[in-house]
Amino acid sequence: MTVMEIRKYGDPVLKKKCEEVLEVTEEVKRFCRDLVETMKENKGLGLAASQVGVLKRIIAVQTGQGPIIFINPKIYEKSKEVVVMEEGCLSFPKIYLKIKRPKSVKAEALDGSGKKIEISAEGLMARVIQHEVDHLDGILIADKVGLLKKLKIKKQKVH
Ligand code: ZN
């Protein structure tokens, strides 16, 4: 297994939209294993393919039962209730931002072997899934906060 390099804020690949995976081939499965390995190595709660420069709709999420892979994840239901939590991102080292998101979500995806799965998540797990799915659409935590905070992030990046 290979630990890949995590792309950091400012890398244009992070702003790109990822493409659907049409077939879960051996190559895709191998990439999924590397994605999990990279997430574990960096002690992340989640990691999206675009964060390692691969523009495919694949995310890895760390759960209490171990890591799972979601291929082509689609969030089809979000709770009306929203919660604010501090969020970090492996692409924004040492930066934590308070972000408002729906408390729970329902999603569907393919697992690492290509089998269709249904996900019902709340709390931290719901948050991680939303954060990672945002990555697949090129949306970063910095896009979720106001301009002032964004300028502060840029400043921290320079120094
Ligand atoms: Zn992230």
Other Cβ atoms closer than 10 A to 78: 16
Q: Note the pLDDT of residue 155.
A: 72
**132 counts as catalytic:** yes
pLDDT at 145: 83
Output the pTM of the full model: 0.92
The 10s digit of each residue's pLDDT in 110-145 is 999 999 999 999 999 999 999 999 999 999 998 988
Candidates 5, 81, 122, 132; catalytic one: 132
pLDDT tens per residue, range 46-85: 999 999 999 999 999 999 899 999 999 999 999 999 999 9
Tokens found for residue 67? 């890591």
- Whole-number Å distance, alpha carbon 139 to ligand 1 midpoint, is 9
What pLDDT sits at residue 146?
74
Q: What are phi and psi of 158, to 5 degrees?
A: -65, -40
**What's the CA gap between 82 and 103, in Å, rounded?**
5
Ligand 1: distance of its center to the CA of 7 in Å?
A: 10
